[in-house]
Structure 1
Amino acid sequence: MPSINVSFQVLPQVPDGDSYAVVDKAIEVVQQSGVPYEVGPMETTMEGDLDELLEIVKKAQQACIDAGARRVMTLVKIDYVPEGVTMAEKVDKYRPCRG
């Protein structure tokens, strides 16, 4: 099955107002999944099979709850191309050459 991209942003409501530690828990779920990913300032983008990526998003939301969030709003974007689409083909031309 061709790869697609899923980007998501968790917006946890936390009692003490420190959402960064809770967001870190969501990112840990992505890191532990083994899928290719990039963390950005506003969202995390992953590459792979849609069902697997959506399962990761669900686990990331639960990680926020487990870390103390009372509620989690999650924004999800899906880029689907039948032949497949990669993160690299979208952003490599904007990266400085590392030679």
Structure 2
Amino acid sequence: MIAEIQVLPRPLGTAESRYAHVDAAIAAITASGLSYEVGAMGTTFEGTPDQVWALLRTVHEATLAAGADGCLSVIKVSAGAEDDGPSVQDLVGKHR
């Protein structure tokens, strides 16, 4: 299964670190051990359905735990009916 999450915290960060809350979200993804890619507008990662769904919640909650007053998370999820669905490589490999 593959997912992309974009966190939109309020505020984005702190006076000392402009993107502190977003950085906390990315740190949660890094700590998961799953394969991921950070993009300009979101982060894509892949794993089993149980791993992906749990990590989406963890990322959203990590943003709030970092001190955001609120957070809107925009997610995209892709999986096949008979298998785990496409990988990042399947979707963008030919464009690299």
Considering the TM-score relative to the shorter chain, is it more than 0.5?
Answer: yes
Query: Residue 61 and residue 19 in structure 1: after superposition, are their counterparts in 2 closer, same or farther (change >3 A)?
Result: farther
For the 8 Å contact 1:8–1:43, the answer to whether it is kept is yes
For the 8 Å contact 1:13–1:19, the answer to whether it is kept is no
Count of aligned pairs: 92
TM-score (norm 1): 0.83
Paired-residue identity, %: 34
Q: Kindly indicate whether residue 63 of structure 2 is the aligned counterpart of residue 64 of structure 1.
A: yes
Identify the residue that residue 35 of structure 1 maps to in structure 2: 34
Q: Kindly indicate whether residue 28 of structure 2 is the aligned counterpart of residue 11 of structure 1.
A: no
Within 5 A, what are the aligned runs for 1:48-59?
48-59=47-58
Deviation at 1:26, TM superposition (A): 0.3
Equivalent residue letter for 1:39: V
Deviation at 1:27, TM superposition (A): 0.3
Equivalent residue letter for 2:2: N
Gap regions ≥5 residues in structure 2: none
CA distance in 1, matches of 2:49, 2:6: 16
Gap regions ≥5 residues in structure 1: none
